[in-house]
Amino acid sequence: MKFIAYNVRPDERKYFENWSAKQDIPVKLIADEVKSDNLALAKGYDAVISFQTGTYPADFFDKLAEFGVKDVSIRNVGVDNLNLTAAKKYGIAVTNVPAYSPNAIAEFSITVLLQLLRQQNIFRKRMAENDYRWAPFVGKEIRALTIGIVGTGRIGKAAIEIYKGFGAKILAYDPYHDPKLESEGIYVDSLEELCGQVDVLTLHMPGSDKDGHLIDEAMIANLKDGAYIINTARGSLIDAKALLAALKSGKLGGAALDTYEYETPIFNHDLKQTGVKDELFNELVALDNVIMTPHIAFYTETAVENMVNISLDSAKDVIMTGKADTLVDLG
């Protein structure tokens, strides 16, 4: 049994090496993401371990089937960029890491909200110019707000527990109700209803084709004037153009975006020499009431270790038994 791992960052290497030594299973580490011109490196390996938020080669599963690969184990949650129909056609199992550290993302979402509420962008700019005045940029306190949680899975529930500590009022929308949260009476019947009642809308759900632009111009119109949007989930959930318009018009009080609809050529790339060519992105980043971060909500030591170990354990289980707790339903 042997595995090959793509898109391996320096901070992941020690976890791969430790696992490989303990399990006595070779794992070849490739720094580059999966591309058509390096896919052949997977020939002869039992499983491909990958972390890729962008596009996989169109013939990804075709080639892996040809090479004899039996499992693709991704080190993240989302599988919306994988052709699961092709995986099923070729009999290749797909596993993911459903929960590497819900607290990491939940904590981050609240961290960036606090920065928005206390207008940190403006104060950083003022201080850079040696202007240390306060007025008129008074902040808000979380305990005085109603927080709307969209998605009450592991991350959403972790966020709810933290917001409870702040003393905020919490409402939530999810088509699937958690029994404990149901007993607390926090659910509303629709996303439209949630938007109309909250001061902060924070997204904690996976992305899929049917959920594209869940937050569009019409849904933004349902929000209270001056509301805040937090997205640490998937960029595709928000219509970025509609969001920009609402921020510039004053309809929204602010937005914290750890993910962006067109992020693939931007996030996790060094663009110091070229800059960002996406004008929509540049307009968003330039606003004082926007905090943009490059998809780092997950990025803690605990999460990275869990992502590596769970993905490798899953691949091992699939190869040895044909099963794993993290198998993705291929339909």
Q: Known catalytic residues?
A: 234, 263, 295
The secondary element (H helix, E strand) that includes residue 93 is: strand 93-95
The number of C-alpha atoms within 13 Å of 221 and in the hemisphere containing its C-beta is 3
Query: Encoding tokens for residue 180?
Result: 């404990």
Question: Under a CB-based contact definition with an 8 Å cutoff, are residues 16 and 284 in contact?
Answer: no
Question: Can you list the pairs that 156-161 forms with residues at least 24 positions away whose Cβ atoms lie under 8 Å?
Answer: 156/106, 156/204, 156/205, 157/102, 157/181, 158/102, 158/103, 158/105, 158/106, 158/107, 159/106, 159/109, 159/110, 159/202, 159/204, 160/186, 161/106
Rounded Cα distance between 318 and 307, Å, is 17
Classify the C-alpha dihedral 312-318-321-327 as positive or negative. positive
Amino acid of residue 100 = Y
Q: How far apart are the first and last CA of the chain?
A: 27
Q: Is residue 69 classed as helix, strand or coil in its secondary structure? A: coil
